[in-house]
Amino acid sequence: MFCFQCQEAAKGTGCTIQGVCGKTSDVANLQDLLLYTVKGISIYSVKARELGVTDSASEQFIIKSLFATITNANFDRDGFIARVREGIVIRDGWKKRLAGSLADVPLAGHDAGLWTPGTDEVLEAKAAAVGVLATGNEDVRSLRELLTYGLKGMAAYMEHAAVLGYDEAGAQAFLERGLAATLNDELTADELVGLVMECGKYGVDVMALLDRANTETYGNPEITKVNIGVGDRPGILISGHDLKDMEELLKQTEGTGVDVYTHSEMLPAHYYPAFKKYSHFVGNYGNAWWKQNEEFASFNGPILMTTNCVVPPKDSYKDRLYTTGNTGYPGIKHIADGKDGAPKDFSAIIEQAKTCASPTGIESGEIVGGFAHAAVMGVADQVVDAVKTGAIKRFFVMAGCDGRMKSRNYYTDFAQALPSDTVILTAGCAKYKYNKLDLGDIGGIPRVLDAGQCNDSYSLAVIALKLKEVFGLEDINDLPISYNIAWYEQKAVIVLLALLYLGVKNIHLGPTLPAFLSPNVAKVLVDTFGIGGITTVDEDMERFLSVV
């Protein structure tokens, strides 16, 4: 195996024996093969689209496969073998449909479009040969992987929008075009850079699409106080990002005597009007994804993982853990999709919850959030006044991810060291590094404004663009906003590319720069966009605050 797609890549270069995330070598290889398979499908689906032919089963397969290979989403070896076989059937179906035009298909001679799986042994031997290192030139490899990871992040957000009935042909077309491009040895580095930037454009589009899907379905997030204590009834803990699962779980648990709590990235569900009406939707339990080993143990009830990040489970709660959607883990019960659009059946989880003790309290009190674009625009006058009077000197976008590395304590220290006339804008699980600190408020505006999940970083961009308009500025970079972003997995890659597409410069990325950026590709990002890493809190603070 060789995997360097996330921030925790071993030694800052790549995992080679087993993933720091817990991914085994065989699963890592099978994920590479699944990617190779969807790239093979894309060779043909791109041509078919040019001829006006699309296929929603093929589109869904591509999206779900990309999502399943994101860090910490799916560890299910057998599931990946089955997906690869299914993908080959889809690919070969395209070949039949394009029989008359195969000669015009660019890359038709590429192995990704031709190979056949045979036995599981043959398939696994293939899996070991098609990974990241199959591309020899390190800059081409770096650009291909940067593009692939951006596409994975895009696919995750497209999937969340799709389950709510929202999709966009342009993004899907780019997804497939981008995947096929990573197989093309003829492309120059400049052309690959162009595709990476284009990926950022589609990143903005799919985050806007998901924002529309979420807000039109569940209402605009509202400024909300969320309980972080526990009640005395048994509960179900729901984690991940899928709001449709959230909705169905709340509906099915109503009146059963079982409460529902959120964990990690599901916390922002509390901000949506559609979910507030459920009195058994009690609060948020615990912190970011990486603390799940201890927090799932003390929760006492069943836990539903709707998306990444899944940590290899401990025996203490294995029999209470469920996966659904694109998540999976060997030996862990999986809740299947409903048939023909019917809701998923969560009855097994609910029945188990009834036999469990209520959660053990680990915290008490409340945290506040729900500062997505509509809520912030609702108090825009107050915010603009505070900036004009100098009560707010600078905003710090500290969106992104949390993770287990000790070096991430930097973000807690940084938040604490920020002067009291600054405001943190956050989204994603990065917030858990400072959302329980008492940082106070500025004239009633809290100093930590949480917009929601990582995809709600889009909201932060909308807020920045609105402020630019209100202040009559030419350039988004003239706003008093600094970007100190923490990343972990590939959804953060698409968020970053989207911000670059919107023209945001001088983003600082930590706790380390991606292992998949070769020195030359990193230089392009530094020279063109002023991307930088982090150093110490003191040094960085001085640098950020000296900008005028």
**Cβ 328 to ligand FSO shortest distance, Å:** 15
Instruction: Answer whether 81's CB lies under 8 Å from 120's CB.
Output: yes
Q: Is residue 491 a contact residue for ligand FSO (CB under 6 A)?
A: yes
Q: Which is nearer to ligand SF4, 21 or 243 (CB)?
A: 21
Tell me the C-alpha distance between 322 and 306, whole Å. 9
Place of tokens 């298909």: 105
Query: Pick from ligand FSO, ligand SF4, none: which does 23 bind, CB < 5 to 8 A by kind?
Result: ligand SF4
Instruction: Tell me which stretch binds ligand SF4 (CB under 6 A): 16-24, 34-42, 191-199, 351-359.
Output: 16-24
Instruction: Tell me which stretch binds ligand FSO (CB under 6 A): 54-62, 369-377, 463-471, 485-493.
Output: 485-493
Tell me the C-alpha distance between 174 and 170, whole Å. 6
Tell me the C-alpha distance between 297 and 318, whole Å. 9
Query: Pick from ligand FSO, ligand SF4, none: which does 454 bind, CB < 5 to 8 A by kind?
Result: ligand FSO
Positive or negative, the Cα torsion across 483, 486, 489, 491? negative
Residue at 539: amino acid letter = E
In the list 4, 322, 329, 432, the residue contacting ligand SF4 (rule: CB under 6 A) is: 4
Instruction: Answer whether 485's CB lies under 8 Å from 398's CB.
Output: yes
Tell me the C-alpha distance between 365 and 75, whole Å. 35
Q: At what angle do helices 25-50 and 56-68 cross, to 10 degrees?
A: 150
Residue at 4: amino acid letter = F
The residues, ordered by sequence, that sit 6+ positions from 332 with a Cβ below 8 Å of its Cβ are: 313, 318, 321, 322, 323
**Cβ 18 to ligand SF4 shortest distance, Å:** 8
Instruction: Tell me which stretch binds ligand SF4 (CB under 6 A): 21-29, 120-128, 387-395, 448-456.
Output: 21-29
Tell me the C-alpha distance between 105 and 51, whole Å. 11
Query: Pick from ligand FSO, ligand SF4, none: which does 453 bind, CB < 5 to 8 A by kind?
Result: ligand FSO
Helical spans, DSSP H, in 98-181 = 120-127, 138-162, 169-181
Q: Are strands 422-426 and 224-227 parallel, antiparallel or unpaired?
A: unpaired
Instruction: Answer whether 511's CB lies under 8 Å from 408's CB.
Output: yes
Q: Is residue 5 a contact residue for ligand SF4 (CB under 6 A)?
A: yes
In the list 11, 15, 413, 475, the residue contacting ligand SF4 (rule: CB under 6 A) is: 15
In the list 12, 13, 17, 20, the residue contacting ligand SF4 (rule: CB under 6 A) is: 20
> What are the strands of the beta sheet with 394-397, ordered from one edge?
448-450, 422-426, 394-397, 481-486, 508-510
Q: Is residue 6 a contact residue for ligand SF4 (CB under 6 A)?
A: yes
Q: Which is nearer to ligand FSO, 140 or 504 (CB)?
A: 504
Query: Pick from ligand SF4, ligand FSO, none: which does 19 bind, CB < 5 to 8 A by kind?
Result: ligand SF4
Instruction: Answer whether 288's CB lies under 8 Å from 432's CB.
Output: yes
Tell me the C-alpha distance between 471 and 525, whole Å. 28
Q: Of 447, 445, 452, which is closest to residue 436 (Cα–Cα)? A: 447
In the list 76, 167, 211, 265, the residue contacting ligand FSO (rule: CB under 6 A) is: 265
In the list 140, 243, 415, 429, the residue contacting ligand FSO (rule: CB under 6 A) is: 429
Tell me the C-alpha distance between 174 and 180, whole Å. 10
491 is known to lie in a ligand binding site: yes
Q: Which is nearer to ligand FSO, 42 or 455 (CB)?
A: 455
In the list 289, 296, 346, 414, the residue contacting ligand FSO (rule: CB under 6 A) is: 289
Looking at residues 49 to 88 of the shown chain, list those that interact with ligand SF4 (rule: CB under 6 A): 71
Q: Is residue 428 a contact residue for ligand FSO (CB under 6 A)?
A: yes
Looking at residues 292 to 331 of the shown chain, list those that interact with ligand FSO (rule: CB under 6 A): 308-309
Q: Is residue 8 a contact residue for ligand SF4 (CB under 6 A)?
A: yes
265 is known to lie in a ligand binding site: yes
Q: Of 55, 57, 61, 56, which is closest to residue 38 (Cα–Cα)? A: 61
Q: Which is nearer to ligand SF4, 19 or 235 (CB)?
A: 19
Q: Considering CB under 6 A, how many residues would be counted as binding ligand SF4? A: 13
Query: Pick from ligand FSO, ligand SF4, none: which does 491 bind, CB < 5 to 8 A by kind?
Result: ligand FSO
**Cβ 291 to ligand FSO shortest distance, Å:** 11
Q: Which is nearer to ligand SF4, 31 or 352 (CB)?
A: 31
Closest residue to ligand SF4 using C-beta atoms: 19
Instruction: Tell me which stretch binds ligand SF4 (CB under 6 A): 3-11, 196-204, 259-267, 400-408.
Output: 3-11
Q: Is residue 160 a contact residue for ligand SF4 (CB under 6 A)?
A: no
**Cβ 269 to ligand FSO shortest distance, Å:** 13
Q: Are strands 366-369 and 224-227 parallel, antiparallel or unpaired?
A: antiparallel
Q: Are strands 445-446 and 441-442 parallel, antiparallel or unpaired?
A: antiparallel
Instruction: Answer whether 360's CB lies under 8 Å from 230's CB.
Output: yes
In the list 12, 13, 23, 284, the residue contacting ligand SF4 (rule: CB under 6 A) is: 23
Helix (H, G, I), strand (E, B) or coil at 236: strand
Tell me the C-alpha distance between 516 and 142, whole Å. 5
186 is known to lie in a ligand binding site: no
Task: Write a three-state SS string for 336-363.
Answer: CCCHHHCCCCCHHHHHHHHCCCCCCCCC
Instruction: Answer whether 445's CB lies under 8 Å from 382's CB.
Output: yes
Q: Which residues participate in the annotated binding site for hybrid [4Fe-2O-2S] cluster?
A: 241, 265, 309, 401, 429, 454, 489, 491
Query: Which residues sit at the interface with ligand FSO, rule CB under 6 A?
Result: 241, 264-265, 289, 308-309, 401, 428-429, 453-454, 488-489, 491-492
Q: Which residues participate in the annotated binding site for [4Fe-4S] cluster?
A: 3, 6, 15, 21
Q: Which residues participate in the annotated binding site?
A: 3, 6, 15, 21, 241, 265, 309, 401, 429, 454, 489, 491
Query: Which residues sit at the interface with ligand SF4, rule CB under 6 A?
Result: 3-6, 8-9, 15, 19-21, 23, 28, 71
